[in-house]
């Protein structure tokens, strides 16, 4: 509505100003809702991927002197993690295992523990995957296939967790195993590309336990 002078009244100015603020606030609110929805969807997907990772194919055996472990982690290589590796992001898996003596009326006694680290780095110029595993004493394994590299990264074979002379006969023991993705440190040139998606690559398995009598 206009005043008799041809100018807008103060009430009209207030109405116009309020309407502008309302439209701006609504726009900001909608933007925040969209951002929150996208983030929530990504977070949910990330959690679902992390829950798929699991320890499998566990074998506890022995040589004449040692207690030996074999196992692998499955469900850890999501499409996003594979793309990150192919983009040159160094990636490390950490494996933790412990041996305890199970006691019925006392707290279980930890007898031994170990931590293994497997790291993969892709060389785009040579089309090579370089894997280093802590149990190999610094020796690198070089392969050209991502599938083969994934198998090497995910498997732990013939690793000693304890000496047999540290175990008592006719007692129950338990081996506990867990795997997780170590914190990724991005190269500078990839920092702004991938840093938002780091949480999507994370995985952490539940503890896998297996009992045996000795």
In percent, the amount of the chain with pLDDT more than 70 equals 66
Cβ(91)–Cβ(85) under 8 Å? yes
Half-sphere exposure (Cβ direction) of 159: Cα atoms closer than 13 Å = 28
For the cut 70, the answer to whether the pLDDT of residue 15 exceeds it is no
Dump pLDDT digits (tens) for 121-149. 999 999 999 999 999 988 999 999 999 99
Q: What is the pTM of this model?
A: 0.70
| Shared-domain flag, residues 32 and 98 | no
Alpha-carbon torsion (116, 184, 54, 120), positive or negative = negative
- Is 3 domain-assigned? no
| Shared-domain flag, residues 81 and 47 | no
**Structure token digits, residue 185:** 């440190």
Cβ(99)–Cβ(202) under 8 Å? no
Domain that residue 27 falls in? 10-52
- Report the number of distinct structural domains present in the chain: 2
What secondary structure does DSSP assign to 110-165, as a single string? EEEEEEEEEEEEEETTTTEEEEEEGGGTT-EEEES-HHHHHHHHHEEEEEEEEEGG
| Shared-domain flag, residues 42 and 59 | no
Cβ(69)–Cβ(173) under 8 Å? no
Residue 105 vs residue 171, higher pLDDT:
171
| Shared-domain flag, residues 192 and 110 | yes
Q: Give every strand in the sheet of 66-74, ordered side by side.
A: 54-62, 66-74, 155-163
| Shared-domain flag, residues 31 and 101 | no
| Shared-domain flag, residues 173 and 71 | yes
| Shared-domain flag, residues 132 and 189 | yes
Q: pLDDT at position 181, please?
A: 86
Of 90-94, 152-156, 203-207, the range with the lowest mean pLDDT is 203-207
pLDDT range class, residue 105, cuts 50, 70, 90: confident
CA distance 49 to 12: 55
Q: DSSP E strands: which ranges in 52-103? A: 54-62, 66-74, 91-101
| Shared-domain flag, residues 58 and 17 | no
| Shared-domain flag, residues 77 and 144 | yes
Please provide the average confidence, as pLDDT, over all residues in the chain.
78
């Amino acid at each position: 509505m206009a005043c008799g002078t041809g100018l807008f009244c103060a009430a009209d100015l207030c109405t116009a100003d309020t309407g502008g603020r309302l439209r701006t606030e609504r726009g900001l609110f909608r933007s925040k809702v969209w951002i929150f929805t996208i983030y929530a969807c990504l977070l949910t997907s990330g959690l679902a991927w992390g829950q798929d990772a699991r320890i499998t194919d566990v074998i506890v055996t022995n040589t004449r002197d040692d207690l030996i472990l074999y196992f692998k982690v499955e469900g850890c290589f999501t499409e996003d993690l594979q793309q990150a590796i192919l983009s040159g992001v160094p990636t490390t898996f950490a494996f933790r295992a412990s041996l305890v003596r199970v006691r019925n009326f006392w707290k279980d006694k930890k007898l031994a523990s170990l931590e293994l680290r497997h790291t993969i780095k892709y060389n785009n110029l040579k089309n090579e995957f370089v894997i280093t595993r802590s149990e190999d004493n610094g020796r690198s394994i070089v392969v050209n296939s991502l599938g083969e590299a994934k198998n090497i990264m995910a498997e732990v074979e013939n690793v000693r967790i304890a000496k047999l002379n540290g175990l008592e006969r006719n007692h129950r023991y338990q081996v506990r195993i867990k795997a997780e993705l170590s914190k990724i440190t991005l190269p500078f040139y990839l920092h702004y590309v991938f840093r938002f998606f780091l949480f999507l690559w994370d995985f952490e398995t539940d503890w896998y336990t297996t009992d045996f009598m000795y």
